[in-house]
Chains A and B, each alone.
Chain A
Amino acid sequence: MPDGGIGASTKRREDVRFLTGKGRYTDDYNRPDQTYVWFLRSDVAHGRITKLDTSAAEAMPGVVKIFTSADFTTAGGIPAGWQIHDRQGEPMKEPKHPILAEGKVRHVGDPIAAVVAETRAQARDAAEAIEVDIEELPAVVDMRAALEAGSALVHDDMGTNLCFDWGFVEDNRDAVDAAIKAAPHVTTLELVNNRLIPNAMEPRVALGDYDQADDQHTLYTTSQNPHVIRLLMGAFVLSIPEQKLRVVAPDVGGGFGSKIFHYAEEAFVTAAAKVVGRPVKWTSTRSEAFMSDAHGRDHVTKIELATEKDGTFLALRSTTLANMGAYLSTFAPSIPTYLHGTLMAGNYKTPQIYVNVRAVFTNTVPVDAYRGAGRPEATFQIERVIDKAARELGIDPIEIRRRNYVTEFPYQTPVAVNYDIGDYNALMDKLIEIADVAGFPARREESAARGRLRGLGISSYIEACGIAPSNLVGQLGARAGLYEAATVRVNPTGGITVFTGSHSHGQGHETTFPQVVASMLGIDAGSIEISHGDTAKVPFGMGTYGSRSLAVGGSAIVKAVDKIIAKAKKIAAHLMEAAETDIELKDGRFSVAGTDKSVAWADVTLAAYVPHNYPLDQIEPGLEETAFYDPSNFTYPAGAYACEVEVDPETGVVTVLGFAAADDFGNVVNPMIVEGQVHGGIAQGIGQAMLEAAGYDENGQITTGSYMDYAMPRSNDVPNYKVDHSCVTPCTHNPLGVKGCGEAGAIGSPPAFVNAVLDALNSGGIKVDHINMPLTPSRVWAAIQAARA
């Protein structure tokens, strides 16, 4: 094994450019003669445009052209990438999502017109001079009210605000109803999974360029998946053949899901660059991001858990309203359905489960995947209702989980998925050790001496990563495949470029993927380069989201390297006049088994490109292979988390004192990076549970339109974390035995935090069943007051 192979905490090579200010983010790209666009956005949530006069604005200094929906009559709408069928088998309602508003605005931030000008300031100045009158309509904000008869309609022609009413598994519905009715004990909880704004630190940017000479469009954009953008935008919105459209996503400053989706601004700059004959650049301000980036979560749920008196789970029923916002964002319909319903078994052998989700249109920003995407929503319900059941039944929260864990694998859940492998008890054992659960009572006493209430919250989670296989997800409504592609190009002198369809926006692929290849070939990782993010360079790939890059993208690389090795062995066999079956590859050398004959890696690669002595009758020259990998199943990372908090009962202020995470990610390529992923996920989970919430008032105005009101986790809000990934059950169906680690932290941590606060309160004699996230000081204090009243 060379240095820097699988299992090494190799320092990240990409860091050097990031640390010295040499990163290449989209906003750092500029094209000669570039123009700038400013979008005039709706300041009301719902209304009819009665007047739109751009003539005065057109006369403003620097204006190149002003666009309205009239300029996009031949363009298609921004498409949804997943079609859900409802309980009756009918397809979901799928309203048009125009690039610029057509007659009606449907959320604060909906773009009405776009000003292209010589400078950004001039574009914004002119946008203010556009005369627009909007006849305001009642805003649809609350999901329950949206479904009542007589509610205003977000999309008039649909006749309803209901996108779909989905049952999963619909055939289980009656059996689950009966089981809950007959159960000795039923624990019920109504809860909200709060609406979040992803807030990658890099705001979105899109730069469109058009080369008239060869009719080529180029879009530079802040995307997690440039090929998906090229496909959706080219095929559905702008009718540009893919060979005429290049999408480049260079260094991207965080995504967390929000940069998966195809956005109107991308289509706009691509189309406008051709119309004005000059490059067009859009850089989102943070204020714009709050009203134009897809939001996340926003579920209102009733969860019911039926148990025996001893805590054995009998049945689970989840009834959820899921906010879609005003339009269907790219993967919106899949989040509350297949990424949520399939996870409702959690780590437990609950025999009967039924999930009902009604997806609702409202006059709010579209809602789509955000780190975890459906799985945090599922986990939060399960882990909260279990904690409540434990309290009601007088069973220790760790014990009730252990009594119900799945212990035999593979395990077929009642919600379609099949867990290949795991060991949830081992994870809980590890957690108890690293969280020092034994020492907790003493720590609680120490807090009590200072007038504080200390609580310990536990959660378990299971995740489904690397969503697949394509033929199955196609049946479930996906309009894209979910494989990944890789090309491995070996250069004559032995160096390698790996072209991957995965996209790194913080995950460290430039470091970890070479570790995988280096381990397979036994060569130095430093001679392996990763290329990603440019549709003109890399094979058609599906990008990075859903913790899929290593499990799916890494597997594609492995498959391609396998092909390279197979061919290289043929070449080596020829060079050494040996049988191909006798060739062994070790430490970067090919040798003939049982002899001292060997040739170096670079001898073989040179022969491939200078084929003077070469089996040309059997194989082609060159050493470059492409593989597409389509997994046969999801991967199922799992973990056990513990959060320790202190509550100040006088103020309601919660302080997170400790957080421990024991995860099973299968095999780990770079422990340092994996731990970093967990850290970040935990902070986002604590953010959701303690700080963050996107607010709307009854008129559909965003009440959290900047960091002045949207509380981002800061360094002094979070503790150091104890993370462990030593419990390993390798994935059984991908070549690396890996599972994915990107979202785990954000999935397991919110219930651990909330359970901890409730433990602190209840153990302190303050009887509180639930507090909706985020558990701000004000909400915790109000809950304490209500309990004492």
Chain B
Amino acid sequence: MYAFELVRPATVAEAVAALAEDGAQALGGGQTLIPTLKARLAMPEKLVSLGGIAELRGVTVEGDEVRIGGGTPHATVAHEVAKAYPALASLAERIGDPHVRNRGTIGGSLANNDPSACYPAAALASGATIVTNKREIAADDYFQGMFATALDEGEIITEVIFPIPQAAHYEKIRQPASRFPLVAVFVAKFADGVRVAVTGAAENGVFRWTEAEEALSADFSPSAVEGLSADSDGMIGDMHGTPEYRAHLIGVMTRRAVAAAG
């Protein structure tokens, strides 16, 4: 790692002030950022740790929505939303490993927007709202391609609001080495329609599979998406799978997610 200063603000306001400085970067749980720093692929002058900010942590369930503080670790989410939003809890408890889940945060995951991360699929399929220190951003506007989001420099995710669907499921096939999703699909059925978000597959990161959404909104059953196949154009191709394989898996994962969501 290159040398940097590490600061631990106690409030969002202090963090925002610290992040306003040149060369400052936010540090969430660090589960992706620290390995990146070790490889010297990033060179911040100052790291602003969000780990000491109590107001960023916590889960509340209110009516038909779940609100999760941006600094909440995956393990807490898995535990706290198990009743209110089991599909989201199930996603959280399958991220990385137990140690990563004790450190990694939802805000960190969404801010990083790794094309193979789990949380973006849940946020997009749920039609979540990303709340920052400045504004509220709809998930549909938030994800802007691989590692790209609507966040401005120094903007911090303070909360994520998930509407709770009638039925949902997250189906994933793991990349054998990293254990990130090779392809994973989050299906969420709401009163006004079905949303299907795909992660791990596309070069541009998480996306909605609109053809499947239409078919499932008309008939929420595995057979509705039988024979439907995603386009391999723009899919990731690497040693773990060709674009064609990933496109194929999107169909399989979607069918299985619908079957499991019931």
Contact = CB atoms under 8 A, between A and B. Distances in A.
Contacts of A703: 238-239
B173 A651 contact: yes
B2 interface: yes
Contacts of B240: 709, 776, 778
A100 to B, nearest CB: 22
A703 to B, nearest CB: 6
A709 B178 contact: yes
Interface stretch (B141-149, B205-213, B244-252): B244-252
B173 A777 contact: yes
Contacts of A440: none
Interface residues of A, number: 28
A777 B179 CA distance: 13
A789 interface: no
Given A287-B39, A703-B239, A691 B245 contact: no
Contact of A778 (B2, B38, B177, B242): B242
A653 interface: yes
Contacts of B248: 781
B241 A708 contact: no
B177 A711 contact: yes
B1 interface: yes
B227 interface: no
A704 B2 contact: no
Q: Specify the main secondary structure of chain A where it touches its partner.
A: loop
Contacts of A691: 176-177
Contacts of A695: 239
Interface in A121-160: 121, 125, 128
A136 B83 CA distance: 59
Interface in A247-287: 285, 287
A686 to B, nearest CB: 12
A495 B179 CA distance: 51
Nearest to A707: B177
B123 to A, nearest CB: 23
A714 B182 CA distance: 17
A689 to B, nearest CB: 12
B177 A710 contact: yes
B238 to A, nearest CB: 8
Nearest to B248: A781
B176 A121 contact: no
Contacts of A741: none
A712 interface: yes
Interface string A749-789: 00000000000000000000000000011100110000000
A691 B238 CA distance: 15
Nearest to A128: B40
B176 A776 contact: yes
Interface in A92-118: none
Given A709-B177, A710-B177, A712-B177, A778 B252 contact: no
Contact of B173 (A121, A285, A653): A653
Given A777-B241, A778-B240, A782-B242, A651 B176 contact: no
Given A709-B177, A709-B178, A711-B177, A778 B245 contact: yes
A650 interface: yes
Contacts of B182: 777
Contacts of A121: 1, 3
A704 B176 contact: no
B176 A707 contact: no
Interface string B87-126: 0000000000000000000000000000000000000000
Contact of B178 (A128, A708, A717, A782): A708
A717 to B, nearest CB: 8
Contacts of A652: 245
B258 to A, nearest CB: 14
A651 B251 CA distance: 10
A650 B252 contact: yes
Given A128-B40, A690-B176, A777-B182, 17 more contacts: A121-B3, A285-B38, A650-B252, A693-B239, A703-B238, A709-B239, A709-B240, A711-B176, A711-B177, A712-B177, A717-B176, A776-B240, A777-B245, A778-B241, A778-B245, A781-B248, A782-B242
25 contacts: A121-B3, A125-B2, A128-B40, A650-B252, A651-B173, A651-B252, A652-B245, A691-B177, A693-B239, A695-B239, A703-B239, A704-B177, A704-B239, A707-B178, A708-B177, A709-B178, A709-B239, A710-B177, A714-B179, A776-B240, A777-B173, A778-B241, A781-B245, A781-B248, A782-B245
